[in-house]
Amino acid sequence: MVRKLAAGNWKMNGTGASLAEAEALRAALPAPTVDVLICPPATLLSRLSDTLSGSAIATGGQDCHAAETGAHTGDISAAMLADAGASHVILGHSERRTDHGETDAEVRAKAKAAIAAGLTAVICVGETLAGREAANTLSIIGGQLAGSVPDLVSADRLVIAYEPVWAIGTGKVPTLHQIGEVHDFIRAELEKRFGVGVGRAVPILYGGSVKGANAAEIFAVSNVNGALVGGASLRAVDFLPIVEALQAS
């Protein structure tokens, strides 16, 4: 049985006042039947972990360095994230790949470091609009999976998030058929590479303008096991309907 996950990526948003939103979400979800994760900016991770301590809501980082320690000013290691209370880390998000030129090889190295530190790596893949229009989506996704995901993984230390770059924060959403095609492809690639046991147990999330109004229909699509949510995760009133839709799916 694949575990379901609703993950909120706060990106570069939030200050101490935002902890009230996490408190509101905690109060509304005393015993969620799906996994719930919030990945705040690094400045809030320790405080958010304290705020959610004892709850069923986990916390995670938005990136980590491949090295455990060293002269890497401004970077954060996987061990540091774990020390701050994180259980997960988002890696290879399209904004990291675009803004910082991250390659598949760099994402793989970070994922290996995260897993070694006891974190679950949430590895993002996704095509640009140009890639979609050129009918190269599956080859792009296949290449990112092959290059970004380490060889030795267990199902409880890996999550794949499919985020079509052209749908992130734009309000545009692929058709349900398009989402299903990619998620089925990812599942098949995972099973081919890691075997049925691991391949079928890794959660595959959809991300890209997910909101309460469209969550239920997206979660009904084949091999969609949850969502990686951006803007709609910043407020409890917006994120809660998505979690509830996943619980009902």
Residue indicated by tokens 């935002």: 18
Is residue 93 among the annotated active site residues? yes
d(CA 146, CA 69): 27
d(CA 241, CA 166): 24
Q: Which helix (H) or strand (E) holds 245?
A: helix 236-248
Q: Which helix (H) or strand (E) holds 144?
A: helix 137-148
Spatial contact of 37 and 81, defined as CB atoms under 8 Å apart? no
Candidates 218, 201, 222; CA nearest to 209 is 218
Active-site hit among 106, 163, 189, 244: 163
Active-site hit among 21, 65, 88, 93: 93
* Phi, psi dihedrals of residue 67, rounded to the nearest 5°: -90, 150
Half-sphere exposure of 209 (CA within 13 A, CB side): 14
Composition of the chain by helix, strand, coil, percent to 5? 50, 15, 35
Structure tokens at 124: 């993002």
Is residue 183 among the annotated active site residues? no
d(CA 241, CA 53): 22
Q: Which residues are catalytically annotated?
A: 93, 163
